[in-house]
Each structure stands twice: as structure tokens, then as C-alpha cells.
Homo-oligomer: A and B are copies of this chain.
Amino acid sequence: MTGDPDVQTVRKLGEQQILQLLQGFCPAEVIGDDAAVLSPTPGRSLVVTSDVLVDGVHFSDRTTSPEDAGWRAVAANLSDLAAMGASPLGITVGLGLPGELPVTWVDRLYQGMTACLQPYRTSIVGGDVVRSPTITIAITAFGEVEGDRVIRRSTARVGDAIVATGEHGSSRAGLELLLHPEQETPLMAAERADLIRTHQRPIPRLDVLPLLNSLSPLPIPITGMDSSDGLADAIVQICRASGMGARVERQRIPIAPPLIAWVGPEKALEWALYGGEDFELVLCLPPETALSLVKQSGKGAAIVGTITAESQIWLVDQEGNYPDMPLTLEQGFQHFADEAIAINANSH
């Protein structure tokens, strides 16, 4: 926000010019009509997901550049598509913008969005720009999937291995470093940068889908979701939807070693379970398939537990250092209940 008369603001530029600026980020063929037209692959199902992000709630100048806000908003939606087994077709972006916002902010937001979309050859195919007292970003992402390859939460079976496709807790740690840059840590500069990058530029795990399709033979349904609300949330949601329980092993939960060295194993585990925004996939698969997937899924991928016929989800410790305890959502987050929650944490 600025009172500088030389700064080009949203109000000074006007809606038509803002739209023209933003259309520069869209493919030419989707511009100029009331709506965008896409051509899905015949016979595939359409997958649709939406997110709304609000300045001061989900992002803030304190921790997030406009490019990063754009990247993260897109990554969260692409992660939801990945969590359904779907390849992206396109996204729409609705923006609410205060009149005094510098136009460069909007331009940089779109740069971050298109940078995140680019590896998937996916475009912004439409949207809306309106005046609002609060910067608001509403994204809807569309994808497609073969009907029998839809990943659902409700199909976990007893004996399935629970796979996390990567490390957890790092995004929460990166946020902590951004919120308290003055804080002394034993982290090396590269480790610090890595945790911050994990928070600012999460990578949706669309790369896991072709692996899954080659490893998991039909007609076994694939079960899973993403860990945007934390690893604990993902496991609990899958167990609830499937009517199952689980045993999750503390030591198997993948956490970046520098994070444990910095905050200790207890805090690191808390962030891994409840921090959120790691945007990994949590999948339930037959053990052999799970093992093959873990080998091919990159850094940190691990089998973290097993689906059981119990009614509870237990966090267990094979090494006997900690007593077994039920895994709950208690440390989870209520978006409306706690206004004092740290900006950016658990926003999805």
C-alpha cells in the first residue's frame, strides 16, 4: 500500500487496464468471451477444486512476497488435484483488490502463479477482478482423471501401508523462520534457506501420479489425500472416511534432520503432524506397492504406518521411548476459532 503519487495503483490504472495486464498471462484463445472453453479428454472425469486466500489470514507481506503468495495459492490447488489423481487442465483466478494496491503487486502475484503452473503446461484460463477492501485470491482448478483412477479417502483397507510421499514439518519450520528472523538457530544457511523455500514454494506432488498408475494395478482402488492440513489430519480423515483405524510409527515419520536438530524431536514431530502445508500425498496401498512407490518418490518418502480394523488411530513407538497415544486432530486448527493463529499456518 502506498500514498506515493508516482506509484501506479489499481485504482489509477482502472479495471480494463488491469484485465489487459492479467490477460498477458493467459493463452490468447481463452480471452475475449464471457467464459473460457476447454477441451477435456473424452471419457475422463472432471475434477474441480477451489480455494480462497485472504490477506492477513493466509498470506502477509511479512512472510510472503506477491510471487510466493501466487505460487502457494496455485500449488495448494494443484495439490488438491493430485490428491484426487487428476492432471491439471487449467485454473481460474478471482481477485479482490484494494484501489490503493500497487499494480506491480498484482503483476508479481501472477508471475508467481504462472511460474508454479508452467511445469505442468497449465494456464490461467479465466477469472475476475473486482474492488475489495481486502486482498482476496479465489482460485478454482480443473483437472481430469480416468474414472477408475480417482483417488478417494474412503477406500482404505486393513493391512494397507500408509505412505507419506515426503518430509513433513518443514513448511511449518520455514514459516517460523520467516516470522522470527531474529531467532538464533543451529541451522546452516543452506538448511535455513531450504526450510524457507519449502514454505514459500511448495511443489504439488503431481509427479507421483504416473508412478502410481504404473505401480498400482487395476481394479484396486487407490486411497489417499494431500497433507495440506497436516499429516495427522490426512491420516484421521482417511481413517474416518474408510471406517478404519491405523497404527502410525513415530520414528518412521519423515522429518528433515536439521529440523530435529533445531527444535528437538518432540516439537519436530508436532510440526510434522499438525504444521500443515507440506502438500505431500498420504496414500494407502498394499505393502509391496507402497514399498515400490517409496523407492521412486524421492527424498523423504516413507511408509509411516498401517491401516487396521481398530476404531482408533494409535501413534506408537517401536523403540519404547514414548507410551503409545491416540492420534487426534486436537492440535488441529479452527480457522475461525483462534484469531491469534500465526499467519500462514494451516491455512488449507
Contacts and interface: CB of A to CB of B under 8 A. Distances in A.
Nearest to A41: B42
A39 B50 contact: no
B335 A130 contact: yes
A132 B52 CA distance: 10
Interface string A169-203: 00000000000000000000000000000000000
Interface of A: 10-11, 13-16, 18, 32-40, 42-43, 45-54, 56-58, 80-81, 83-84, 86, 89-90, 92-97, 99, 125-134, 136, 138, 140-143, 145, 147, 150, 152-154, 225-226, 241, 334-337, 339, 347
Given A131-B335, A154-B32, A126 B50 contact: yes
Contact of A49 (B14, B36, B83, B131): B36
Nearest to A93: B50
Contacts of A138: 50, 52, 94, 128, 136, 138, 140
A231 B262 CA distance: 63
B131 A54 contact: yes
10 contacts: A14-B335, A32-B241, A34-B83, A37-B47, A39-B147, A40-B40, A50-B92, A54-B133, A57-B132, A134-B136
Given A16-B334, A57-B131, A92 B36 contact: no
B131 A336 contact: yes
A78 to B, nearest CB: 11
A25 to B, nearest CB: 15
Contact of A48 (B56, B92, B143, B153): B92
A131 to B, nearest CB: 5
Contacts of A128: 50-52, 138
A130 B54 CA distance: 8
A125 B48 contact: yes
Residue from A33, A95, A134, A136 whose CB has the most chain B CB atoms within 10 Å: A33
Given A33-B84, A48-B38, A136-B138, A10 B336 contact: yes
Contacts of A125: 48
Contacts of A131: 54, 57, 335-336, 339
